[in-house]
Amino acid sequence: MKKLATIVLIALAFSLNACKGPEGPAGPQGLAGKDGKDGLNGKDGANAGFVYFDGFKTDLKCATCHTPDIDTTFFVAGKVKQWENSTHGNGTAWSEYSSGCAECHTTEAYQLKQAGKPVTNILNPTPPGCFACHKPHSTGDFSLRTTTPVALPASIVGVADATFDLGKGNLCASCHRPRTISPMPDPTKTGATDSLVVTNNRWYTHYGVQSQMLTGVGAFQFTTAATYTKTAAHSSGVIKTDGCVACHMENVSPITPGQAYGAQIGGHTMKMEFVAHGSTTPAQLLTTCKTCHTSITKFDYNGKQTAFQANMDTLKSLLVAKGWIDNDNGILATSAKPIVFKPAARAGILMNYMTLLHDGSNGVHNPAYMNDIVRASIVEARK
């Protein structure tokens, strides 16, 4: 309609001009007109090679972050070196770029996910880097992309999903969370004829189980008499506000040359220990632990890691003897040669072993819970 009206007006102007005499010389050029309004955003391309979600902060002062000579606020160059030495920076799992995996394994898909967009295959992937956890070109600072509480799906029949809510650690749990498994084990299926059949070697809730272990959820609890306690304190105090960040990202300054410093441990390396050149005993990051355990000298506080490790060894040998796993912790199930758990609830033994193993903290994340689970699993495995 509008277009039609304009055409009519122009035609009218021409017809009026038609009766006038010859045109005089052109006048001086007028002032430049006002800029037009931005058009609508174009449609996103099929491959999210360049993702532009958050807007570009127009008054960014580039040198605040990009010139080590001027950057006395963020020390970006130093953080880059630390990150390069982290498993985020130097691991290889960012090769998992397909749509089902990339949201936790690549920066690009993680951005899509956090922006509420569908996750695609990522054809030019990068590992979880600065622009996964921060958006400095949009915010001008290093605030965190997300601190929203994270749902932790339960993979056990009858158990509700949990919520992880430990402040800054919610960022970590947005990737370090479990995935569901199928078929799900059921603690009430203890009858002699109940069975559960596993046909593939990845029957575990994936690797990001630290969020579950830290908060004391996710393990299979047998209906038989066993105690399942939790170290609730490991979700309190500084861990309540900072979560994983409290222990893994503590800042470390150089102590003596050759000793651990910031680029090797803590900070953006997120590493908890480091073996210095010429040393055999790892330096461990204990400063945060000491705020609660004043006398602690190693992660193996009160021998709880030694106990956990010994029990894990025992459980492993039981599972190897049953033919459920091999010596490299690989699950020995294929569709041609499945594992049949009978009664079905016994599948919980294998589920627990994989979860405790993939947590990677040797019991530290939740000493009470993890030690109780491994003990209960041994009792069941011996039946």
Subset of 125-144 contacting ligand HEC (CB under 6 A): 128-130, 132-134, 136-137, 140-142, 144
Residue 176 within binding range of ligand HEC, rule CB under 6 A? yes
φ, ψ dihedrals at 216, nearest 5°: 70, 45
Our finding on whether 237 is near ligand HEC (CB under 6 A) is: yes
CB of 220 within 8 A of CB of 365? no
Q: Is 64 in the site for ligand HEC (CB under 6 A)?
A: yes
Cβ neighbours of 76 (radius 10 Å): 17
Binding-site member from 49, 55, 68, 100 for ligand HEC (CB under 6 A): 100
Count of alpha carbons within 13 angstroms of residue 281, beta-carbon side:
6
Taking the CA atoms of residue 239, residue 241, residue 244 and residue 250 in that order, the dihedral angle to the nearest 10 degrees is: -90
Q: Is 217 in the site for ligand HEC (CB under 6 A)?
A: no
Residue whose token pair is 């272990």:
213
Taking the complex as a whole, how short is the minimal distance between the CB of residue 229 and ligand HEC, in angstroms? 9
Instruction: Name which of residues 248 to 287 contact ligand HEC (CB under 6 A).
Output: 248-249, 268, 270-273
Q: State how far the Cα of 383 lies from the Cα of 381, in Å rounded to an integer.
A: 6
Among 111, 231, 352, 355, binds ligand HEC (CB under 6 A): 231
Q: Are 82 and 74 in contact (CB under 8 A)?
A: no
Nearest approach in angstroms of CB 170 to ligand HEC is 9
Determine the Cα–Cα distance for residues 307 and 121; give it in Å rounded to an integer: 43
One residue of 67, 87, 148, 241 binding ligand HEC per CB under 6 A: 87
* Identity of the residue, 220 or 299, whose beta carbon is nearer to ligand HEC in the bound complex: 299
Task: Give the shortest CB-274-to-ligand HEC separation in angstroms.
Answer: 10
**216 lies in the site for ligand HEC, by CB under 6 A:** no
Contact flag: residue 354 with ligand HEC (CB under 6 A): no
Q: Decide: is 365 part of the binding site for ligand HEC (CB under 6 A).
A: yes
Residues between 152 and 171 with contacts to ligand HEC, criterion CB under 6 A:
168-169, 171
Phi, psi of 293 (to 5 degrees): -105, 90
Nearer to ligand HEC, 172 or 345 (CB): 172
For ligand HEC, the binding residue among 220, 274, 299, 341 (CB under 6 A) is 299
CA distance linking residue 133 with residue 375, whole number of Å: 37
How near is the Cβ of 362 to ligand HEC at its closest, in Å?
4
Which residue has the CB atom at the shortest distance from ligand HEC?
91
CB closer to ligand HEC out of 187 and 363: 363
Question: By C-beta, is 237 or 258 nearer to ligand HEC?
Answer: 237
User: Shortest gap between Cβ of 224 and ligand HEC (angstroms)?
Assistant: 23
60 binds ligand HEC (CB under 6 A): yes
Q: Is 301 in the site for ligand HEC (CB under 6 A)?
A: yes
Q: Cα 279 vs. chain centroid, distance in angstroms?
A: 32
Span interacting with ligand HEC, options 101-109, 154-162, 252-260, 349-357, rule CB under 6 A: 101-109
Burial 339-370 (b: 16+ CB within 10 A, else e): bebebbbbbbbbbbbbbbbbbebbbbbbbbbb
Out of 111, 155, 210, 377, the residue judged to bind ligand HEC by CB under 6 A: 210
Q: Which is nearer to ligand HEC, 173 or 312 (CB)?
A: 173
What's the min distance (Å) between Cβ of 194 and ligand HEC?
Answer: 29
Q: Which two tokens stand for residue 125?
A: 């992937």
Minimum Å gap between C-beta 134 and ligand HEC is 6
Is the bond into 183 cis (omega within 30 degrees of 0)? yes
Identify the DSSP state of 329.
Answer: S
104 binds ligand HEC (CB under 6 A): yes
Amino acid at 349: I
Would you tell me how many other CB atoms lie within 10 Å of the CB of residue 382?
A: 10
Question: How far apart, in whole angstroms, are the C-alpha atoms of residue 379 and residue 210?
Answer: 24
Do 346 and 283 meet the contact criterion of CB atoms below 8 Å apart?
Answer: no
Measured CA to CA, the distance from residue 137 to residue 106 in angstroms comes to: 19
| In the complex, least distance from residue 102 CB atom to ligand HEC, rounded to whole angstroms | 8
- Per the omega criterion (within 30 degrees of 0), is the bond before 343 cis? yes
